[in-house]
Structure 1
Amino acid sequence: MKYFSHLNTAVQLLQQYNGSLPFGSFIKQFFSQHKKYGSKDRKNISQLCYAFFRLGKALPTLPAEERILTGLFLCSAEPNELLQHLKPDWDSQTHLSLADKWRLISDTDAAAGLLAVFPWKDELSANMDHTSFCASFFTQPDLFLRLRPRHEAAVKSKLQQAGVPFREVSRHCLALPNASKIDTVIGTDREAVIQDHSSQRIGELMEFIRNSAFAKASASDGSPPADAMANKPLRVWDACAASGGKSILATDIFRRIDLTVSDVRQSILVNLEKRFAAAGIRNYHSFIGDLSTTTYDDQEPGFDMIITDVPCSGSGTWSRTPEQLYYFDPKKIDRYSALQKKIIAHAIPALKPGGFLLYCTCSVFKKENEEVVQFIEEQLSLQLLQSTLFTGYEQKADTLFGAVFQKK
């Protein structure tokens, strides 16, 4: 039967894969080399492979076939054709709670089995719910859109006309099924940005900075806050620009900014140029820079705000890329933490007195979050104004950490 053929293909793929590149890229290469698989075949095989990874570190001794079917059962909220053909006795039990499913598949304690998915509880940031976080790996996250200013109504109308379902999380945020195809429906980056809900909430910290800058400008020259900020664009440096989502967010929140972006990779800046063009961002500066080794020598008067969305474990996003959870080596936590401290230390000299540092990670580990905050306070003499862990596991979203500092 084709379903067993799909299962066998999934096992073969998992045996060939070693975690060195995103699994999505790996399986795409496989299908491009093997044209015999139709769209339904590709969907089923991909689903089976990701079910394997979603078990994380739990049940490591299960044979690959059993691990795939176990993961598929735990991920299924309703009967489906894969389980119907591959494990029919489980297909009728998909309505059970996650805890009851664990009791059905294993003799071990249900709670202990679930918590084994992500076994590093002691490494978590404060306010993380370990149980809820582990459970989130069995749910496919949503696709989130951030509606750009003045395009809110148009985007919703276009989605409705195209029959694309969505739910309104807030005035500027929509949640869509993860597999939604929207590229031909709306102008991505121009009208709306594909950006996770928690990543969008970093905007709350930017608004905090904006309001603080307003107050400072008003206090210094006696003019109303909005007028004080309007007199001169805010100098903003996105020091780890990557895909540029934070830069576009900053542009929408601050409106008048003198933007500089940098990254260690030339290819990133090339892609960024195309994305900024679609987003209507044309007047900006860019350069290649490795802040892990070099301090950026900025000319006076320096930057009003530096955004450091630093390289990290990405652990807050692993429900989207569960292969990273499966292959993760906890020794990497210390390496990332050390790298983050170097980047911040090399970026700070470019921040003018009274300027703001926005520190961000998509990590759930305290060594990448709270411990770096402590380092910035104690070793770099910046004042912590606010820090927040944006937990997304209850909203089918990522988990991010953000902190705002001011240079004394």
Structure 2
Amino acid sequence: MTPAARTQAAIELLDSIVAAAEQGGAAADTLIARYFAARRYAGSKDRRAVRELVYAAIRALGERPASGRAALVTIARQDAALAATFDGSAHGPAPIADEPAAAPGVLPRWLAERLAASGLDPAEQAALVERAPLDVRVNPLRGELPVIEGAAPIAGLPDARRLPAGTDLAPYAGLVEAQDAGSQAVTLAAGAAPGMTVLDLCAGAGGKSLALAAAMANQGRIIASDVDRARLARLAPRAERAAARIIEPLLLDGGREAAALAGVRADIVFVDAPCSGSGTWRRNPEARWRLTPERLERYAAMQRHVLALGAPAVRPGGALVFVTCSLLDAEGADQVELFLADHPGWSAEPLALPFGRARGRGVRLTPAHDGTDGFFVARLRAPC
């Protein structure tokens, strides 16, 4: 592909990403993969160059642009080499004229205001869309310690390694799990130990269930539940590769979750709650184009529902661990205050984690301060 053709491909991809963000469609990574699956003529260098151009535009624009062309025109006006590719050639975009561009920035105004109210200054906000590192958790259950070129330890997390960008993890399936250092750190808040019963209430594909199984040395019981059949179905093969033998998947019927959990009494109920994902925008920067005040309120309501479901499953004196990959207080510190107000006798416990700073009754990790994805975590103790 010529440089102009690469720019045109990026415009086409951005058009589909903008439309998906507006309509709740597939994520950017999925759309990029589909695009090149239908264009086998594009070589690896072409795919990499187009992908980098697409994500450069996404990271540069806080507000959803009107079109892919408007997005690239915006950054081309600051980049002479990119502007030169708007040459009107057979496979390239038309020359840049006196046309509207998108407004550069980190976040939509309303989100910037909400994050500022949640204690994140402009530097913290800017870090939300920087490139994320590649972190993995070495799996002690396999009894093998893989040697991966360029792997660096992460202080405070004995099983964590930070790898060079682009490292192929396929040869290490089961030996390591891709998991951000922040995600590993907040899992420590569970305090899971051998012999315990743990309910992973929003298990998804089971990344934290696998980490909990390792912390428990495969002794005890982990009930990994979720209402999403497709995501939960991915857990069993992952657990088999990781030699995690104590995980029991439990598919919940939406609206009837309480009945399915009525007989569960766990030492720990781990709630990795559905949220806006603002802490993971380094990996999915177009997600900030999708979020609206109305969607944020729906996430907050969903979290209140999940916490209310989890509380009865905690044995007397046990713990409810609440985690979100969000940096908005509406999905973190505020939820803990609401829960404690509604559940007399419960208390928030102090946490000592390798990363993070106190926020409300919990701990918050941020990309700028901790070099991890953003998380909020709180550990809530049930009355005896």
TM range (shorter): 0.7 to 0.9
Deviations 1:157-185 (A, max 9, x none): x213xxxx23322232211233211222x
Distance 2:264 2:187 in 1: 25
Q: Is the 8 A contact 1:393 1:399 kept in 2?
A: no
Which residue in the other structure is 2:151 paired with? 166
Alignment of 1:202-217 (within 5 A): 202-207=186-191
- For residues 248 and 238 of structure 2, the distance between their equivalents in structure 1, rounded to whole angstroms, comes to 14
CA distance in 2, matches of 1:197, 1:240: 20
Q: 1:16 to 1:270 in 2, by over 3 A?
A: closer
Give the length in aligned residue pairs.
343
Match of 1:131 among 122, 141, 145: 122
Q: Secondary structure at the match of 2:183?
A: helix
Say which SS state the counterpart of residue 141 (structure 1) adopts. coil
Q: Give the match for residue 103 of structure 1.
A: none
CA distance in 2, matches of 1:55, 1:269: 34
Does the 8 Å CA contact 1:199/1:400 hold for their aligned counterparts?
A: yes
Q: Is 1:191 aligned with 2:175?
A: yes
> 1:225 aligns to what?
none
2:316 corresponds in structure 1 to 353
Q: CA deviation at 1:293?
A: 5.5
What percent of counterpart residues are identical?
A: 24
1:341-376, Cα deviation, whole Å (9 max, x unpaired): 011112222221111101110011111101110111
Aligned partner of 1:309: which letter?
A: D
Aligned partners of 1:369, 1:200: CA distance in 2, in Å?
Answer: 18
Tell me the equivalent position of 1:363.
Answer: 326
Give the letter aligned to residue 385 of structure 1: E
- In 2, Cα distance between equivalents of 1:278 and 1:118: 45
Partner of 2:377: 402
The structure 1 residue matched to 2:366, chosen from 391, 395, 401, is: 391
User: Are the structure 2 counterparts of residues 150 and 257 from structure 1 closer, same or farther at C-alpha, using a change threshold of 3 Å?
Assistant: closer
Given that residues 213 and 246 in structure 2 are in contact (C-alpha distance below 8 angstroms), is that contact kept between their aligned partners in structure 1? no
Q: Cα 1:153–1:234, aligned 2, differ >3 Å: closer, same or farther?
A: closer
**Cα distance change of structure 1 residues 308 and 356 upon mapping to structure 2, 3 Å threshold:** same
In 1, distance between residues paired with 2:132 and 2:109?
17
Query: Among 182, 189, 192, which residue is 2:169 paired with?
Result: 182
- CA-to-aligned-CA distance 1:55-101 (integer Å, 9 cap, x gap): 2425958933223447xx7xxxxxxxxx684259xxxxxxxxxxxxx
Give the direction of change, closer, same or farther, for the CA distance of 1:69–1:7 in structure 2 (3 Å limit). Answer: same
Asked if structure 1 preserves the Cα contact closer than 8 Å seen for 2:205 and 2:235, the reply is: yes
How far is 1:243 from its partner?
1.9
What is the match of residue 321 of structure 1? Answer: 284
CA distance 1:150–1:287, change in 2 (3 Å): closer
1:335 alignment partner in structure 2: 298
Contact 1:291 1:343 in 2 (8 A): no
- Contact kept in structure 2, 1:333 and 1:365, CA below 8 Å: no
- 1:86 is the counterpart of 2:82: yes
Contact 1:315 1:325 in 2 (8 A): yes
What secondary structure, in the 3-state scheme, does the structure 2 residue paired with 1:312 have?
A: coil
**Cα RMSD after superposing both structures:** 2.9
AA aligned opposite 2:72: E
Q: Retained in 1: the 8 A contact 2:62–2:106? A: no
SS at match of 2:223: strand
The two structures have a TM-score, normalised by structure 1, of 0.76
Residue 29 of structure 2 aligns to a residue in which SS? helix
Mapped contact 2:64–2:289 kept (Cα < 8 A): no
State the secondary structure of the residue aligned to 2:140.
coil
Could you state the TM-score of these two structures normalised by the residue count of structure 2? 0.80
Once residues 177 and 395 of structure 1 are traced to their aligned partners in structure 2, the CA distance between those partners, rounded to angstroms, is: 18
Aligned to 2:98: none
Describe how 1:9-408 pairs up with structure 2 within 5 A. 9-17=9-17, 18-19=19-20, 20-57=25-62, 63-69=70-76, 85-86=81-82, 116=107, 120-124=111-115, 128-137=119-128, 139-149=130-140, 154-155=145-146, 158-160=147-149, 165-170=150-155, 171-184=158-171, 186=172, 188=173, 190-207=174-191, 233-255=195-217, 256-290=219-253, 294-298=257-261, 302-381=265-344, 382-386=346-350, 387-408=362-383
Distance 1:206 1:131 in 2: 32
Q: 1:359, 1:311 → 2: CA distance?
A: 11
Structure 2 vs 1, CA of residues 24 and 300 (structure 1 numbering), >3 Å: closer, same or farther? Answer: closer
Aligned residue for 2:90? none
User: Quick check: 250-259 or 121-130, which moved more?
Assistant: 121-130
